[in-house]
Amino acid sequence: MIPFFIFMATMVITGIPTAVLFIPWCWLTGNVLPLYKGTRFMLSSSCRLSGVRFRTAGLENVPSDRACIFMSNHVSNLDPPALISLIPGRTSAFMKRSLMNLPILRTGFRQGEFIAVDRTGNAADAKASVVAAQRVLAKGVHITTFVEGTRSPDGRMLPFKKGPFFLAMAAGAPCIPVSIHGTEKILGKGSLRMHPGSAHVIFHPPIDPAGFATREELTQAVREAIASGLPEWMRT
């Protein structure tokens, strides 16, 4: 429990001044970058001090001249801190609507242009989320999404949700497949027991949606890319 306590304590110690200083600054100036950089520092410091070591590969594959859609597998609650800490530039993300309603945090999420999603399967809600994400991409801000829609209970890849691929086909933004493993051993699903260890994050070459005739073909290409960076047992 000690690593988890260190993680949460660091989040609080660094998160409170970040919110107090930079949320009002964003209100006054419209500049969200100080808040975003402060949040990245909070997340990376919390991981590092609790014994999480990032092993990163492929960052050179990320285009520097346009917004991308980062599509990752999802095995642990540590995956979002890992990705947001590592992605070059600023990224928004799809986020459960319940998290967007948390006091104080919801203000920061809205200032960062994070996008609320529902798991109801309602087509109108899904379309609204895709339209909001297109507006974010048009501003030059990346989108990060965990394409399985939820954490895998055992680390093995789950079926992918359709929404991120509708977005990719509509926006024409490059898809960056991301493979994450190791975090499932550090902080497993449903557990508060945290173990120091290495989180492996692999950024694959961009995939252009324009090269695919259908959403299903694009989905399969992204799935194969993500699987290629995972241990064999996680690919099924």
- pLDDT computed for residue 183 by the predictor: 95
Q: Residue by residue, what is the 3-state secondary structure of the chain?
A: CHHHHHHHHHHHHHHHHHHHHHHHHHHHHCCCHHHHHHHHHHHHHHHHHCCEEEEEECHHHCCCCCCCEEEECCCCCCHHHHHHHHCCCCEEEEEEHHHHCCCCHHHHHHHCCCEEECCCCCHHHHHHHHHHHHHHHHCCCEEEEECCCCCCCCCCCCCCCCHHHHHHHHHCCCEEEEEEECHHHHCCCCCCCCCCEEEEEEECCCECHHHCCCHHHHHHHHHHHHHHCCCHHHCC
- pLDDT computed for residue 121 by the predictor: 64
pLDDT tier at 189 (50, 70, 90 boundaries)? Answer: confident
Q: Residue 198 is part of a domain; what is its CATH number?
A: 3.40.1130.10
**Bridge partners of residue 91, in order along the sequence:** 142
pTM over the 0.75 mark: yes
Mean pLDDT of 7-17: 94
Mean pLDDT of 162-167: 92
Q: Is residue 130 included in any domain, yes or no?
A: yes
- pLDDT computed for residue 209 by the predictor: 97
- pLDDT computed for residue 56 by the predictor: 96
Residue 231 burial (CB count, 10 A): 12
Number of domain units in the chain: 1
Span 39-96, pLDDT tens digits: 999 999 999 999 999 999 999 999 988 999 999 999 999 999 999 999 999 999 988 8
Q: Is residue 81 included in any domain, yes or no?
A: yes
Full residue range of the structural domain in which residue 63 is found: 53-234
Please check whether residue 41 is in contact with residue 113, taking contact to mean a CB–CB distance below 8 angstroms: no
Mean pLDDT of 189-196: 86
Q: Is residue 14 included in any domain, yes or no?
A: no
Whether residue 119 is predicted with pLDDT greater than 80 in this model: the reply is: no
CA distance 82 to 52: 9
Q: Is residue 86 included in any domain, yes or no?
A: yes
Q: Is residue 46 included in any domain, yes or no?
A: no
- pLDDT computed for residue 146 by the predictor: 95
